Amino acid sequence: MRTSCAWCIAAVALLAGPARADTCPAPPGGSEKLASADARDRIEFLRARMDAQARYARTWKWTWVGIGSFTTVASAAQAVGWAAVGDERKRDANVVDDLVVSGFSVVTPIFALLFSPRVERDAPVMDELLRQTGGGAAGTCLVLARIEELFAKDAQEEAFDTGWFTQLAAVVGLSAMFGILMAEAALASDPVVRDVHEKNAGLNTAAGIFLTEMQILTTPTGAVSAYRRYLKGDLPRKSIAFSVVPLVATPGLALKVTF
């Protein structure tokens, strides 16, 4: 019994030490701090951020497809309603205006589908690459360089999608719709019809500005801030890991701590 207890006590040895770090060159713009970081930590940082951004991008895309489709259908249905039971003097003006708005509204779901954030497509490419290389164990630096390339492009696209060009394109589109509705008002000889066109122009343009700005403001931008952090080497601190390993010199087990 004494021998057995002595063996048990010997088995509670504690080994501590840092895990061996594999380093890879930093990408253009990367800091020395990043270059000295463990490549596995860098891969894990990019993998987690890219997967999270892909999930958000997918949600964003289908949300705006739904909102744009609803707006399009609602405007078309309103046109049908005015055509069926609308006031005779206001009917034609409202039908025309609602059809115009419906035509412009269809841009929202089309834009969300055709120009969905590329991170949604890049994340599966990264996941497959990691699966084929055992999490990046085979050819670590090459795998890391490829993931960095994908993430950098995702960040560049997100910055562009929320930049001045997108804002300008939105203004041009809404100005075109406003111009068409106001032109109809200018050409109307009946004051009642003119008033209908002017009110529709103001209300629909205001609603269009709100929806367009919301679409732009909710566009994924997490890759931009995450890649800036990454280039600075601001990775999350490595957590302490515990594992049980067999002792070599004497029978027993040891608790190993890596950090």
Mean pLDDT taken over the chain: 83
Instruction: Name the burial class of residue 99, with classes exposed (0-12), middle (13-18) and buried (19+) by CB atoms within 10 angstroms of its CB.
Output: middle
How far, in Å, CA of 33 to CA of 168, rounded? 39
Q: What is residue 109's predicted lDDT score, i.e. its pLDDT?
A: 85
How many helical (H) and strand (E) elements, i.e. helices and strands, does the chain have? 10, 3
pLDDT band (50, 70, 90) for residue 241: very low
Could you read off the pLDDT of 120-168 as tens digits, one per residue? 999 999 999 999 999 888 889 999 999 999 999 999 999 998 888 888 9
Q: How far out from the chain centre does Cα 204 lie?
A: 28
Higher-confidence residue: 249 or 98?
A: 98
Q: What is residue 1's predicted lDDT score, i.e. its pLDDT?
A: 46
The CB density around residue 4, as the number of other CB atoms within 10 Å, is: 7
DSSP states of 215-253 as a string?
A: HHHTS--HHHHHHHHHHHT-PPPPPPEEEEEE-SSSSSE
Residue found under tokens 């040895």: 13
> Domain spans of the chain?
39-234
Higher-confidence residue: 94 or 2?
A: 94
Could you read off the pLDDT of 165-220 as tens digits, one per residue? 888 988 999 999 999 999 988 988 888 888 998 999 999 999 999 999 999 999 99
Q: Which residues lie below 8 Å from residue 188, measured CB to CB, with a gap of 6+?
A: 93, 194, 197
pLDDT band (50, 70, 90) for residue 237: low
